[in-house]
Amino acid sequence: MEFDDLRKQALFVKNTPLPGYTLPNLLFLLAQNRFKVHVQYIPRLTYSMSLSAVMLPFYIKERLQFDKHIEQTRITHPPLFIIGHWRSGTTYMHNVLSQDKNFGYLTTFQAYLPGVFLGGEKLFKPLVSQSIPKKRPMDNVPMHADYPQEDQYAIGAFCPYSYYHGWCFPKNMEFYNSSVCMDHASKEIIEEWKRYYLYILKKITFYQEGKQLILKNQDNTGKIKILLEMFPDAKFIFLYRNPYDLYYSMMKFMKITIPRFCVQKPPQIEVVEESMMNLYTALTQKYLKERQLIPNGNLIQVRYEDFITKPFQEIKKIYEMLQLKGFQGAEASFDSYIRTQWNMKKDQYTVDEESKKKIEKKWGFAIKEFGYETPPF
């Protein structure tokens, strides 16, 4: 397996999240990477820098106009965090639950351009709409500026602590991977991350007029202790998937997505594979260690395969176990949305002997923990 044609993908300048970054953060990341940008990605970086620079006065204006209101905003409802490794059904879960209008969430426009969404929607939302594909290239899931989006893009736009920075600057991938679990981060860095995250959540709460937030962010799987320090009553939905299928899905995901994000030439796919497998191990082990900190009744674990085959029943179970209100009022909306997804095709993978050995060596603990079996040949 190799990356998508790197030379061809370099011609696409708008797919990377970098244009939505605040200019100070983008400049900081470039300095952090010693301004090492591959020549074929200069047009992509130029576009990103240009849009970021154009947004700067609007970003400053928004801070001056709204920061007092954001600071005074109180998050009175405990957030509902959707967590789990990438390719475990978190997007589908987010999309389904967002049909309940009692919840507030970040849209794709708001997550990609978090610095200007309160005052710059009319000007900048069309740019996001034109930049994103109609469907995600790795799985054909529909995309739209108004659809729910993971808040990792928003926090990445504001600060240097984001997993996706490693896809934009892949020569420094391991460094950015460390921001997921933050096991060796200083107290000062953790507190800085909290400040950025709280600002984003207060800002979207202000926009959503105090609704309970439903937040999808795979990075948060490794930050349960930190999140509970911020929101002691937070509720969590953890999705998990057959590690054999997840391995192949992640490899497909990365080979398609990294060439669309990066401004540096990626390392060999084998290096990226090793990095991905190590992060899965660290992330999952961190979750298994910290899930005991979550108060009784505030965590539900959902098996990907069950959710894909019987989503309505699993959503009903989530509401019951987490004691969420509003299921009956949203029942028809859940059913209507789920019916539109019945033609969704799940990729089928055949596990080869070499990959099977790698998966079992690194992820055997997860196969056992989550009750999966060795695939037949």
CATH number of the domain where residue 262 is located? 3.40.50.300
Helix (H, G, I), strand (E, B) or coil at 295: coil
Q: Give domain status of residue 374, yes or no.
A: no
Q: How confident is the model at residue 176 (pLDDT cuts 50, 70, 90)?
A: very high
Q: Give domain status of residue 270, yes or no.
A: yes
Q: How confident is the model at residue 377 (pLDDT cuts 50, 70, 90)?
A: very low
The pTM assigned to this predicted structure is 0.96
Average pLDDT for 333-354: 86
Q: Give domain status of residue 308, yes or no.
A: yes
Average pLDDT for 274-293: 98
Name the domain count of the chain. 1
pLDDT in tens, 120-152: 999 999 999 988 888 888 788 889 999 999 999
Q: Give domain status of residue 160, yes or no.
A: yes
Max avg pLDDT among 130-134, 342-346, 367-371: 367-371
Q: Give domain status of residue 371, yes or no.
A: no
pLDDT in tens, 16-54: 999 999 999 999 999 999 999 999 999 999 999 999 999
pLDDT in tens, 212-228: 999 999 999 999 999 99
Task: Give 301's strand partners.
Answer: 238
Q: Give domain status of residue 264, yes or no.
A: yes
Q: Give domain status of residue 377, yes or no.
A: no
Helix (H, G, I), strand (E, B) or coil at 54: helix
Average pLDDT for 194-208: 98
Q: Output the pLDDT for position 5.
A: 82
pLDDT in tens, 263-279: 999 999 999 999 999 99
Q: Give domain status of residue 352, yes or no.
A: no
pLDDT in tens, 250-265: 999 999 999 999 999 9
Between CA 17 and CA 84 the distance in angstroms is: 22
Query: Where do the H-state alpha helices sit in the chain?
Result: 6-9, 23-32, 42-72, 90-97, 108-112, 121-131, 152-158, 165-168, 173-181, 187-207, 224-230, 243-261, 269-290, 304-309, 311-321, 327-340, 353-369
Helix (H, G, I), strand (E, B) or coil at 239: strand
Q: How confident is the model at residue 63 (pLDDT cuts 50, 70, 90)?
A: very high
The order of strands in the sheet holding 212-216 is 103-104, 212-216, 80-83, 235-240, 299-303
Q: Output the pLDDT for position 1.
A: 60
Q: Output the pLDDT for position 376.
A: 52
Mean pLDDT of the chain: 95
Helix (H, G, I), strand (E, B) or coil at 213: strand
- Domain holding 165, by residue range, is 6-343
